[in-house]
Amino acid sequence: MPELPEVETIRRGLMATIVGRRIEAVDVLWPPSLIASQSQVEHLLLGKHVCGIGRRGKLLIVDLDGGEHLLVHPMMTGQLVVAEDSGTVFAGGHPSRSMLDPMPNPTTRVVFRLDEGRSLFFNDQRKFGRVTLVDDAGLGADSFLSRLGPEPLDGGFTLDGFRRQLARHARAPVKAALLDQTVVAGIGNIYADESLHLARVHPRRLAGSLTAAESRRLHQTIRKTLASAVNHGGTSFAGYVNAARGQAGYLVRARVFRRTGQPCPVCGTTIERIRVAGRGTSFCPRCQPYE
Partner DNA sequence: CACTTGACCTGTCCGC
Partner DNA sequence: TGCGGACAGGTCAAGT
Residues near DNA, by CB under 7 A? 1, 3, 32, 57-59, 73, 75-77, 96, 106, 125-128, 143-144, 168-173, 176-177, 179, 181, 188-190, 207-208, 273, 275, 277-280
**Strand 23-28, strand 118-124: pairing:** unpaired
Give the start-end residues of each E strand in 166-229. none
Least gap, CB of 98 to DNA (angstroms): 11
Q: Which is catalytic among the residues 3, 6, 8, 194?
A: 3
Select which of 21, 58, 130, 205 is catalytic: 58
Tell me which residue of 246, 266, 248 sits closest to 256, measured CA to CA.
Answer: 266
Residue number with CB closer to DNA (87 or 278) = 278
Active-site residue identified among 2, 5, 74, 173: 2
What CA–CA distance (Å, rounded) separates 141 from 146? 6
User: Is 2 a known active-site residue?
Assistant: yes
- Comparing CA positions, the residue from 177, 157, 158, 155 lying closest to residue 167 is 177
Collapse the DSSP code of 289 into the 3-class scheme (helix H, G, I; strand E, B; otherwise coil) and give the result. coil
Residue number with CB closer to DNA (3 or 63): 3
Closest to DNA by CB, 48 vs 279, is: 279
Residue tagged active-site, from 22, 113, 200, 279 = 279
Q: How far is the CB of 41 from DNA (least distance, A)?
A: 21
Find the angle CA(161)-CA(163)-CA(167) to the nearest 5 degrees. 115
State in angstroms the smallest separation of the CB of 168 from DNA: 5
41, burial (CB in 10 Å: exposed 0-12, middle 13-18, buried 19+):
middle
CB-CB contact of 14 with 53 (8 Å): yes
Q: Does 151 participate in catalysis according to the annotation?
A: no
Task: Provide, rounded to whole angstroms, the least separation between the CB of residue 127 and DNA.
Answer: 4
Q: Which residues contact 162 (CB under 8 A, 6 or more apart)?
A: 183, 184, 215, 218, 219
Smallest distance from the beta carbon of 62 to DNA, in angstroms? 17
> In the annotation, is 58 catalytic?
yes
Nearer to DNA, 112 or 257 (CB): 257
Strands (DSSP E) contained in 156-255 are: none
Q: Is 84 among the residues known to form the active site?
A: no
Nearer to DNA, 144 or 214 (CB): 144
Q: Which helix (H) or strand (E) holds 21?
A: none
- Residue 81, burial from CB neighbour count under 10 angstroms (0-12, 13-18, 19+): buried
Active site residues: 2-3, 58, 279
